[in-house]
Structure 1
């Protein structure tokens, strides 16, 4: 089986962009091709829609349920280890002071019901809330959930650190605006001295013009905030490049890169659509992040309990990411260059398995893709049911049209 480096050398992508004269209307154009054009007699090989086989191959690699071990470490490649098991954190922020202890507990269970394994939950008071937070941790443990603790102090750490449901401590939010790199490092050292066995986590916003490289290596994990929906500025396609920047900077110091993705609405704005939510998630995965935290399940103006369509989509997403987790944590990912900035193609290789992700980042235009495959790929098989399947195999090439904000996964056999 070809390794990703060989794959990159042997693959050729040709893409045709849609006309930009009417950007609000998706339009098709013919895709460019490279090398010899297929003969008129070349036949198509239908894409297999037997997702059960594709999923079974991933399930054979699946990690066990949330580990009961409490100790954490970050591998040099940025993957989180809990005990001796790789762990892909997939969860929600919860601004708990916008509710109460009953609401915090109810929402933790709701988040677990959606298939998530992490909740970043605030303490109401770092000492007065110790009993309530212990109760929350006990329930989280029973649900296979782990918690990142926010708004704590030294007493909180000493009191809670032995609980197996503790994943770590959020030591700074918006750190590139609110604290210096030196101050972040001091916080990290202080918390690690009290609890060397759990994760320290900080969140910030990386821009195109400033990666804030000085903040990396000052905590075990860094979250990058990307909230473009209805913010009056960036398009949804911004998620991919800023998460790539996060991953690139994280590799320098072996930091765990976590995507902070939008599930809320800005003041006087709207919530993401299900298509936008799925695209942002897949852009982050394609960029190579090693965890995802959505903001937010609850804050003073947002409540995910009022969004049944988004919750339904999130439950589908968590199921898909759980299947993909072995690839995301242990596979070798290769991004295949394209001639169209809106179209991204990534191939993961793990053992003798290869999986293809194709993305159209544009929220307005359809793009055609022709991708020349190396080796003896005889079958293109969809991975997830209920998702668009528009690629087909023709004379060793993958070809098809990608609708705006589409994300598609295929097994290559």
Structure 2
């Protein structure tokens, strides 16, 4: 199988013009970890921080709903876009891994080490490249065995007959990546041809593709031609380039809308890398991008990337603490995100710079409030449908600044804050 450098590393610094064809990515220099410096954190200054005691009851209620972390069985997509593995809902959350980008002498070992590192962070999924559809079979089988032992699922970036027939019965196989950057590289008809060919060989696992969906074009012609579709959103560019982080929410909304129309699994592809001449996202930015995607209603997240030819999170550790927190929080939220009823709420205040979403599940309600502004504190007021009498912070150590009065939630949001509450 011919290998391409994924579009995530192309010099298209992002989505305002995403509907245009994109250039092929250049070969980039290897990262120099000691020079990696993050931008100043935009952390919660005016906000308080939830204590473990405050969050304990709400967290315990979520833990009681916990899903099986490593379901086994056939993978399919529920009509509402939820991934099912062995008939159990699963929120796939993890990383791309451009395995061939490692130094050739250590490729096999590094791919395995990085899978364990991703599992150690609490994630459950990786999209992994094969080095060769025939010569890599023994080593990739060992990777799948190790992944199964860690409760991990793998999307295999190969859809050749040999790979599919060899690994389609392995319990760690989640599916097959049949196209990257499909809206720039292939036609909708070619995507469907690959999907049908792959499903004829393996009807019990996913077909997956990724593209860049912009404000102006949701590329509807590509939906319904693969089981799962990822949307790339990588706004943290070099100084003077890139987009506002607020781009993530509307483009993921478009992904979710198209996926809903076709019964497709919508997966957010979010930025954990640095563009050439740029920097890695900060913890605050990573948190904001993740929560914007969740608020928009995605049913899975794959960060680009753990490894490619210019980025390696094994050497850059600046995001590790935040990634571990996010993995743990999404794991707790998964039953609500997958099975709950999601409702976008109206806000009084800076209407274009904040979002509020309410999930109802199992007789409980969970409120997410986001600031999409990167520089300014804003005041918001949210009327909770049906009223409310309690507002409990959901995650210890996370920001809290909102209060409940007369059935309305109000307060100030610092830049890019993401806050979660149980509301009853």
TM-score range for the pair, normalised by the shorter chain length:
0.7 to 0.9
Q: 1:115 aligned to 2:122?
A: yes
- Deviating above 4 A after TM superposition, structure 1's stretches of 4 or more consecutive aligned residues are 46-49
Q: CA deviation at 1:209?
A: 1.0
What are the residue-to-residue correspondences of 1:398-409 with 2, within 5 Å?
A: 398-409=409-420
What are the residue-to-residue correspondences of 1:49-60 with 2, within 5 Å?
A: 50-60=54-64
Quick one: distance in 1 between partners of 2:133 and 2:190?
Answer: 21
Q: CA deviation at 1:152?
A: 4.1
Q: CA deviation at 1:371?
A: 1.9
Paired residue for 1:365? 376
Paired residue for 2:68? 64
Paired residue for 2:172? 165
What are the residue-to-residue correspondences of 1:9-408 with 2, within 5 Å?
A: 50-69=54-73, 71-99=74-102, 100-230=107-237, 232-338=241-347, 340-375=351-386, 377-408=388-419
Asked if structure 2 preserves the Cα contact closer than 8 Å seen for 1:47 and 1:392, the reply is: no
Tell me: CA distance 1:125–1:110, structure 2 relative to 1, closer, same or farther (3 Å): same
Quick one: distance in 2 between partners of 1:163 and 1:80?
Answer: 18
Quick one: distance in 1 between partners of 2:51 and 2:208?
Answer: 42
* Secondary structure of 1:378 counterpart: coil
Which moved further from structure 2: 335-344 or 161-170? 335-344
Asked if structure 2 preserves the Cα contact closer than 8 Å seen for 1:123 and 1:152, the reply is: no
Asked if structure 2 preserves the Cα contact closer than 8 Å seen for 1:150 and 1:170, the reply is: yes
Quick one: distance in 1 between partners of 2:384 and 2:252?
Answer: 27
Tell me: CA distance 1:176–1:392, structure 2 relative to 1, closer, same or farther (3 Å): same
Q: CA deviation at 1:131?
A: 0.2
Offset from partner CA, 1:267-291 (integer Å, 9 cap, x none): 1110000000000000000000000
User: Could you list the runs of 5+ residues in structure 2 that have no partner in the other structure?
Assistant: 1-41, 43-49
Q: CA deviation at 1:395?
A: 2.8
* Secondary structure of 2:344 counterpart: strand
Tell me: CA distance 1:144–1:365, structure 2 relative to 1, closer, same or farther (3 Å): same
CA RMSD of aligned residues (A): 1.7
User: Could you list the runs of 5+ residues in structure 1 that have no partner in the other structure?
Assistant: 1-25, 27-45
Quick one: distance in 2 between partners of 1:241 and 1:101?
Answer: 38
The number of residues matched between the two structures is 369
Structure possessing the higher relative contact order (Cα contacts under 8 Å, 6 or more residues apart): 1
Q: CA deviation at 1:355?
A: 0.5
Quick one: distance in 2 between partners of 1:332 and 1:388?
Answer: 24
Which moved further from structure 2: 231-240 or 217-226? 231-240
Quick one: distance in 1 between partners of 2:199 and 2:231?
Answer: 22
Quick one: distance in 2 between partners of 1:391 and 1:226?
Answer: 29
Q: CA deviation at 1:364?
A: 1.1
Asked if structure 1 preserves the Cα contact closer than 8 Å seen for 2:374 and 2:416, the reply is: yes
Quick one: distance in 2 between partners of 1:374 and 1:89?
Answer: 30
Quick one: distance in 2 between partners of 1:196 and 1:202?
Answer: 16
Quick one: distance in 2 between partners of 1:303 and 1:91?
Answer: 15
Paired residue for 2:29? none
Q: CA deviation at 1:68?
A: 2.3
Quick one: distance in 2 between partners of 1:188 and 1:210?
Answer: 22
